[in-house]
Homo-oligomer: A and B are copies of this chain.
């Protein structure tokens, strides 16, 4: 089973990397960029074939390693 995990900062958490991208886009002449938020995308290829078990494993990986749940939230979707 393959899963896509998207990890983003929780709303309200400052995102200096996103702001840096917004400024860089402005410097390149792109106007009308209200805001930019940056996150991580992780694709997991798991040997487990049971979708329920595989998704549970992916979520546990997020809780333990992939996301810092104090400031980040994650979303797991099959691909």
Contact = CB atoms under 8 A, between A and B. Distances in A.
Copies of this polypeptide in the complex: 2
Given A21-B42, A30-B60, A34-B46, 15 more contacts: A8-B41, A18-B42, A21-B65, A21-B66, A25-B65, A28-B64, A28-B65, A33-B45, A33-B47, A35-B45, A36-B43, A36-B45, A37-B43, A38-B42, A38-B43
Contacts of A36: 42-45
A6 interface: yes
- Interface range for A: 20 to 34
A40 B21 CA distance: 13
Contacts of A39: 40-43
A61 interface: yes
